[in-house]
Chains A and B, each alone.
Chain A
C-alpha cells in the first residue's frame, strides 16, 4: 500500500535533489565541467549552518543566507585553484580532481566538526499539520517553499537579466560569445559560484530534515548526475521533474521492497529512461 507520508518524504528529498541538480546542470551547461565534488558543498553548507546556529544562536532558516555566502566563497576557491586549471583537458581529469577534492573536503570536515551525526534544530520541531493519518511537518513545507522561491529567482536571473543572457550564450558557443565581447572567464566564475550557492542552500535544508555527517556528500552527487541525465542535460525543467521522480522512486522502493532497493530502483529507472530516450526526458534533439 502506498502511504502518503512516503510520497511526501520523497518530494522533500526530491526537492533538495532539485536544488543540487539545477546547480550542477548550470555548471555543466555553461562550463562543460563535471564536478563530482558538488555534494561536498552541500555537506559543507549544512555544517556552516550548524556552526552559525550553535555558535551565534542564529535561527536556522536565517542561517541559509550565511551558508549560501560562505559556500559561494568556497566555490570561488575551488573554481580558481582546481577546476580552472584542468578545464579543457580530458573529462576524466576533471573527475580525478573531483575525487581529490572529495578527499580534502570530507576530511577537513571531520577535522573541524568530528565524525558524529548532527542535526540542525528547527524552530518548528515536532510541529506540523494533520490530514487524517498523514502528518505534514512544517519543515518539509518550508523547504519546499524555499526551493520554489530559489528556482523562481534563478529562472528570472537566467531568462531576464544580462548576466543570464551571457550565461546562455556561453553555454551555446563559448568561443562565439567571447567574440561578442563576453568575458567568459567571469561568466565561468559566476556560474560556478551560483551553483555553489544553490548547493549551500540545499545543505541547510538537508541538515534540517535529515541528520548529516562529513560523508553524506558523495551519494547525492552521483544521484544528482543521474537526475540531470534523466531530465536531459542543460534542461532546468528536466532537473526539476527528474529530481522529484528520483526522490519519489527511491523512497517508494525503500518503503515497499526494503531499504537496500532504494538506490538500485532509482538507477534502474534511469537506465530504463535512457534506453527509451538516449538524450533524457527533456534533452535537446540532435547531436
Chain B
C-alpha cells in the first residue's frame, strides 16, 4: 500500500495533496496552541470524524441509520466496563468494544437487509431506544443511570491523546477511503442508486448491505469507546437521539457519500456547538425585552438562528460544502490557470 510509487502518485494529484495538507495541519495545529480547551475541542472533532465517517459509509449503501448512537454507546460502555471489571487495558478494550459493536451490528443488519430505506431508519432508531432502556434496566451491571468515571486510555494528558486519536482517525478514514474506492464501494453506490437494478445485474445486495452494516458499526463502536475514554466519564445520555442525528447532520452538511464530507462536517458542527454559545450574553442583552415569557433568551434565539442557517445551507448546497469546494477548484483550474 505504501510503496514509493503510490506515495509519488499521492503527491501528484490534488486530492492527495489536500489530504496530506489536512493531515499536516492536524498534526501541527496543537503545537501552536497554548490553550487546553481548544485541544479538547480538536480531539472531539477527530473522534466525531470517525463516528460521522462510519455513519456515512452506511449511508453510501443506501441505509440511512437513525440510531447510530446505540453503537456509540455500546462501544463506550463495553470498553469502559471491561477496563473496570476485568482490568482489560483500554487500548485493547476499544478494539474489543468495536468488535462487539460490529457483532451486534451484524444481528441488526440481518433484520434490516430486507427492509426499504424508511423502514430501516425506524428499526435503527427503535434499536437505539431499546438499547438505552436495556442499559438502564440492567443498571447493576452497567451503572448507566448515574454514570461512572472511565479509566484513561494509556495516557491521561491531552496532547498525546490528541495525537493518538488523530492517528486512529487517519487510519479509519484511509480504510473507509479504500473501501469506498474498491469493488465493494461501487456495489454500495449501485445499491444506493437503485437496489432492484443492482440485484438485476447480479449483485448480492443483501450481502453487501450486511458488509456495510458490520463495517460501519465497527467504526462507530470504536469511536464510542475512544470517546468514553476521552471524556473520562460515561452515562446513559450517550444513547440520546441527538447523538444519533449528529453524524447525519455532519455528513449532509459536509457532503453525503464523499470521503471528505464527514470530516468537514464534524469540524463545522463541533465548532458551532462549542463556540456559537459565546454570543448568548450579547443576544440576551440586546433582545431580552422583546420576549417577556423567558428570562434567558440568548440560547433560544441562537438556536433559532442556527436552525435557519442549517436549512439555508442545505437548500443552497444540497450536496454539501464539499460541492462548493469542488466548484471552486474547477473554477480556479479552468479559468485562472488556463488563462495564464
Which A residues are closer than 8 A to B by beta carbons? 34, 82, 85-86, 89-93, 95-97, 99-104, 106-108, 110-115, 218, 222, 225-226, 229, 233, 260-261, 263-264, 267-268, 270-271, 274-275, 278, 280, 287
Contacts and interface: CB of A to CB of B under 8 A. Distances in A.
Given A222-B122, A263-B129, A271-B130, 15 more contacts: A82-B315, A92-B64, A96-B253, A100-B314, A101-B307, A103-B310, A104-B307, A107-B303, A111-B300, A114-B294, A115-B294, A222-B241, A226-B126, A267-B125, A267-B130
Contacts of A82: 311, 315
B137 A270 contact: no
A243 B241 CA distance: 22
Nearest to B132: A264
17 contacts: A93-B318, A96-B249, A99-B248, A102-B307, A103-B306, A104-B303, A104-B304, A110-B300, A111-B294, A225-B121, A226-B126, A264-B130, A267-B130, A270-B126, A274-B119, A275-B111, A287-B196
Contacts of A104: 303-304, 307-308, 311
Interface in B120-164: 121-123, 125-127, 129-130, 132-134, 136-137
Between A101, A106, A110, the greatest number of chain B beta carbons within 10 A of the residue's beta carbon is seen for A110
B125 A113 contact: no
Interface in B174-212: 196
Contacts of A274: 111, 115, 119, 123
Interface residues of B, number: 49
B256 interface: yes
Given A95-B248, A103-B310, A111-B304, A233 B196 contact: no
Contacts of A287: 196
Chain A contact residues: helix, strand, loop or mixed: helix
B122 A229 contact: yes
Contacts of B117: 91
Contacts of B137: 260-261
Given A95-B64, A99-B249, A111-B301, A268 B130 contact: yes
Contacts of A108: 304
A225 to B, nearest CB: 6
Given A111-B291, A267-B125, A99 B310 contact: yes
Interface in B23-63: 59
Contacts of B330: none
B114 A278 contact: yes
A229 B294 contact: no
B198 to A, nearest CB: 13
Interface string B279-322: 00000000000010110010111011011101100110010000
Contacts of B311: 82, 97, 100-101, 104
Given A92-B248, A95-B248, A97-B311, A270 B122 contact: yes
B64 to A, nearest CB: 5
B82 to A, nearest CB: 25
B118 interface: yes
A34 B118 contact: yes
Contacts of A103: 303-304, 306-307, 310
A227 B122 CA distance: 10
A260 B133 contact: yes
A263 B318 contact: no
